[in-house]
Amino acid sequence: MHYKLNDGWLDPVRRLSSPNCDLRPQGVEIDLLVIHNISLPPGKYGGPWIDALFTNTLDFDVDPFFNELQETRVSSHLLIDRNGNVTQYVPFQMRAWHAGESCFEARTRCNDFSIGIELEGSDDSVYEEIQYQHLAAITLKIMAHYPRVTGDRVVGHCDIAPQRKTDPGAAFDWQYLHSLLSHKK
């Protein structure tokens, strides 16, 4: 998996622009990578619902859970689905709305200085090998382009918002991800 980074966009990946982003604060450098999980409806995989959520086109009548998301305006830079397909919603130089209220090393508003990657999954569902492979390749590309993002600055949503978030969950194998990052360097 060889990715190229061009003007904040990864190639070759599917692009679907989200309106849920804005400019990062002036002078703020990207120095954090946040791993999330998502499934819509919860625990179900596949379908157009994540794209719809990130583009504000979710049909709230499709599933009762979707009603809870009517006021939600979120995005992420990337999604890696269960089959290893990668979609980019927000260019890296823009601020995606993925972390919410958050804090890392006494700095709040992690969206200001982070890149968010969603894995299609749930806290207690084993992630697919292909997801780890793509995540590692993309993480290494991000680390090369944004050298302040180092191995100890690749964290879970649970690490920056522990009072309200648990993802990527107990099923995520951090040790395996770090071994892939070390092996591929």
Q: Which residue among the candidates 118, 120, 128, 129 is catalytic per the annotation?
A: 118
Q: How many CB atoms lie within 10 A of CB 90?
A: 27
Can 118 be counted among the known catalytic residues?
Answer: yes
CA distance 128 to 151: 21
CA distance 39 to 45: 6
| E strands present in the chain | 4-6, 9-11, 14-15, 21-23, 32-38, 78-80, 86-88, 94-96, 103-104, 107-108, 114-120, 154-156
DSSP output for 114-162? EEEEEEES-TTSPPPHHHHHHHHHHHHHHHHHSTT--GGGEEEHHHH-T
Residues carrying an active site annotation? 118
